[in-house]
């Protein structure tokens, strides 16, 4: 029996149905042994978090966290990836690589970034449509990730990279896949949404009004008022507050909750069960523990019972 047939029989004995992600498009024909190797790498990667949708969300969360980390809005007052220098954009890829390894508990490879299914795998990221490969990546499976901040979409796939698939060298002696061979990428996820950069997607006039305030308290107050009815992630409040404990500016006892209550708004935090219950009851939305939502207290969807529960929980009059 040939080695390829043996591998195919061995692969058939594995159960992929619980966590394996269906390919978006049927891939072009490939070498059977390489195809089996990529199936094994995919299986090892996806099963580490226990399911396809969990896997997709986890990867999306890693991209969002890595981009926000490098933008560093709380320290540098920047709010978009367009504000970054070229070397900083490269640093996002390194951050994603480290976070993937940490969050998925993937061991480091002997010579490449990680080890999956018993073999070295390189991680490549891009904000565009192609990836650059050094010679060390040749004749290895590469984990390819492409993300688009303007659309908040990403793709994740695998490619076995060999010399004849690559174009001309750049000044760093790296080469990219030719258009023909990009068609051979084994996609695990394609055009998958992830959380958008909240501030970068606000109209410029709104962002200017928020960031133009002179103090962290006033910036948080403007954010909560202008983003009324939209769940706001915790890191966004941190970004505009530029201080060690920004969330206290959203609470009672002189914070935004008291101020906005007097202006006819409820500041609802996913950290409180009573607030989550109000949001569920009013608009059937599950507010995440790290999200804050501002809502008009006069909205007809806020019943007297919900309003009373909110007032009691936060000791408002």
To the nearest whole percent, how much of the chain has pLDDT over 70? 79
pLDDT band at 31 (very low <50, low <70, confident <90, very high): low
User: 3-class SS at 157?
Assistant: strand
Place of tokens 């490098």: 70
Mean pLDDT value of segment 246-262: 68
User: In 190-317, which residue ranges form alpha helices assigned H by DSSP?
Assistant: 204-211, 216-226, 234-241, 256-262, 273-283, 304-313
- Please, what is the Cα angle at 217 between 268 and 221, to 5 degrees? 45
Report the CATH superfamily, name and number, of domain 21-193.
DNA mismatch repair MutH/Restriction endonuclease, type II (3.40.600.10)
pLDDT band at 20 (very low <50, low <70, confident <90, very high): very low
User: 3-class SS at 147?
Assistant: strand
Q: What is the pLDDT of residue 81?
A: 94
289 versus 171: the higher-pLDDT residue is 289
Q: What is the pLDDT of residue 21?
A: 47
pLDDT band at 317 (very low <50, low <70, confident <90, very high): confident
Is the pLDDT assigned to residue 283 strictly greater than 90?
yes
Report the mean per-residue pLDDT for the chain: 82
| 21-193 and 204-313 share one fold | no
Mean pLDDT value of segment 217-227: 89
Q: What is the pLDDT of residue 63?
A: 97
Q: Are 165 and 154 in contact (CB under 8 A)?
A: no
Question: What is the Cα–Cα distance from 185 to 81, expressed in whole angstroms?
Answer: 27
**The residue count for the chain:** 317
Please tell me the number of Cα atoms within 13 Å of 68 on its side-chain side.
Answer: 22
* 204-313 CATH: 1.10.10.10
Q: Provide the whole-model pTM.
A: 0.77
To the nearest whole percent, how much of the chain has pLDDT over 90? 48
Q: What six digits make up the tokens of 218? A: 């006033």
Is the pLDDT assigned to residue 114 strictly greater than 60?
yes
**Model pLDDT for residues 146-173, shown as the tens digit of each residue:** 999 999 999 999 988 776 566 556 666 5
**Model pLDDT for residues 52-104, shown as the tens digit of each residue:** 778 999 999 999 999 999 999 888 888 899 999 999 999 999 999 999 999 99
Q: What is the pLDDT of residue 246?
A: 52
Q: What six digits make up the tokens of 224? A: 């909560």
Q: Where are the domains of the chain?
A: 21-193, 204-313
Is the pLDDT assigned to residue 271 strictly greater than 50?
yes
Q: Residues with Cβ < 8 Å from 2, sequence gap 6 or more?
A: none
């Amino acid at each position: 029996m040939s080695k390829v047939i043996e591998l195919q029989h061995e692969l058939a004995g594995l159960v992929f149905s619980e966590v394996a992600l269906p390919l978006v498009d049927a891939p072009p024909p490939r070498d059977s042994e390489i195809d089996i190797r990529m199936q094994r790498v995919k299986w090892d990667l996806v099963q580490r978090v226990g399911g396809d949708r969990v896997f997709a969300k986890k990867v999306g969360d890693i991209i969002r966290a890595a981009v926000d980390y490098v933008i560093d809005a709380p320290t540098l007052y920047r709010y978009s990836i367009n504000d970054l220098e070229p070397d900083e954009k490269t640093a996002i890829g390194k951050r994603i690589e480290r976070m993937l390894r940490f969050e998925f508990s993937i061991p480091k490879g002997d010579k490449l970034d990680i080890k999956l299914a018993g073999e070295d795998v390189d991680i490549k990221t891009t904000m565009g449509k192609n990836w650059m490969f050094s010679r060390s990546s040749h004749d290895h499976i590469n984990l390819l990730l492409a993300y688009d901040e303007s659309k908040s979409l990403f793709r994740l796939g695998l490619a076995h990279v060999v010399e004849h698939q690559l174009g001309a060298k750049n000044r760093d002696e790296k080469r990219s896949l030719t258009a023909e061979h990009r068609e051979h990428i084994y996609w695990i996820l394609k055009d998958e949404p992830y959380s958008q950069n909240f501030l970068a997607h606000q109209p410029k006039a709104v962002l200017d009004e928020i960031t133009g305030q002179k103090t962290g308290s006033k910036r948080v107050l403007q954010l909560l008022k202008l983003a009324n009815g939209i769940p706001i992630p915790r890191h966004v409040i941190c970004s505009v507050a530029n201080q060690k404990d920004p969330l206290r500016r959203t609470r009672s006892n002189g914070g935004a909750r008291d101020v906005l209550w007097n202006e006819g708004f409820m500041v609802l935090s996913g950290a409180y069960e009573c607030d989550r219950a109000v949001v569920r009851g009013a608009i059937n939305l599950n507010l995440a523990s790290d999200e804050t939502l501002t809502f008009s207290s006069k909205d007809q969807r806020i019943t007297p019972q919900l309003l009373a529960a909110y007032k009691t929980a936060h000791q408002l009059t």
